[in-house]
Homo-oligomer: A and B are copies of this chain.
């Protein structure tokens, strides 16, 4: 019987995160203050984020130690398995070797807790006992509630109102871990009251929820705000995924030719890819494919520009691939990954030609997810399905070209909390949708002229 899963023992868990900033050939452009267009200093961010996280955000150190307390909580599900997808290989009749790093075994079911745990820890160290954040469907909110509970901290989540009403189960998950979940916009904040005054029946949006979560953080001394993707320190914490995979490939006596991950804000892709980008910068031939939906094709069809991180233009300006902050994801899209921008480090990697982008339609992604569930047994999150689509395409290319390449992708989460999306797919209710080019160009034309 062949060994399909490559395990690391807990003692092989990485003791430091890898910071790609140390090795990129160009520095990541700094975030700019939206009023002055001047680079932000730590003092601008201190009311919002814990100081240690602000330091990590700008650090040029290659290795940053992972505190023991963080590793102890991560050990609930880490090291995560690296699995050879032999059944999928057989079904595709490909000479390629396909591996996936399985991040679905965390209690909330995705990679998100890798950074939630670290962020909760550093805030707690600074004497902060309460964190706020926003959440859409609830994946990031549930990861943060889990992390806060592990450190006995309070967690306040502003959940987009229509999701709050339509997805009570993710809300229950947050509440089981002691989180306080408020539908946004709410009358708890100045920002929320303004939005409700303007439209009492608004379904809410991530942009609105961000505004409330930030206001709720800066208005209390014991409270800070957290973000689940995009920022450098978030990507840093996710690097544990790729660092474990590196060790596992050593044990498997193999090494990837192609590294694939799906991208919303970019954190799960970065987590797997960045430690391998280090090998590419050192001369290895490795391709990196970041996948996204055709309905939100940030890197495929957006531009590399300074833009706001949120739709309400309250955040700093960030240099990134963007569809324009006024981008509104279409209602028909069921697969997540709806953010208008992309993590600055991934954006720079794409600009430098290190990272390729690929956009897929949702039906072909669900088809790939069903193939994966039928062969490897595990039901992928709809987000993860975008990575699997690319894996299937790459494996088919290998078959056509007769190439025995090694493909690895990040299995960022399971789909057991997203079966409603599969229900719509199986019922034939989903349609493909490509975001119109003219709308992208119009949104980008509105961006501030900053270089």
Contact = CB atoms under 8 A, between A and B. Distances in A.
Nearest to A7: B7
Interface string A136-151: 0000000000100110
A378 B149 CA distance: 11
B11 A378 contact: no
Contacts of A376: 76
A107 B417 contact: no
B5 A75 contact: yes
A21 to B, nearest CB: 27
Contacts of A420: 168-169, 172
Given A1-B71, A169-B423, A419-B169, A177 B374 contact: yes
Contacts of A1: 10, 68, 71-72, 75
Interface residues of A, number: 44
Given A1-B71, A7-B7, A416-B109, A374 B178 contact: yes
B377 A107 contact: yes
A92 interface: no
A170 B1 CA distance: 32
A194 interface: no
Contact of A107 (B4, B9, B379): B379
Contacts of A11: 3
Contacts of A288: none
Contacts of A177: 373-374
Contacts of A172: 419-420, 422-423, 426
A173 B379 contact: yes
How many copies, total?
Answer: 2
Contacts of A76: 4, 376-378
A168 B423 contact: yes
Contacts of A10: 1, 3-5
Contacts of A150: 377
A72 B3 CA distance: 9
Contacts of A109: 416
A182 interface: no
B176 A426 contact: yes
Contacts of A149: 373-374, 377
Contacts of A379: 107, 173, 176
Contacts of A422: 172-173, 175-176
Contacts of A107: 373, 377-379
A30 to B, nearest CB: 36
Nearest to A3: B10
A399 interface: no
Given A109-B416, A169-B420, A426 B175 contact: yes
A417 B146 CA distance: 17
Interface in A1-41: 1, 3-5, 7, 9-11
Interface string A408-427: 00000000110110110010
Interface of A: 1, 3-5, 7, 9-11, 68, 71-73, 75-76, 105, 107, 109, 146, 149-150, 168-173, 175-178, 370, 373-374, 376-379, 416-417, 419-420, 422-423, 426
6 contacts: A3-B75, A107-B377, A172-B420, A172-B422, A173-B422, A176-B370
Given A3-B75, A149-B374, A172-B420, 8 more contacts: A5-B75, A169-B419, A172-B423, A172-B426, A173-B379, A175-B422, A176-B370, A177-B373
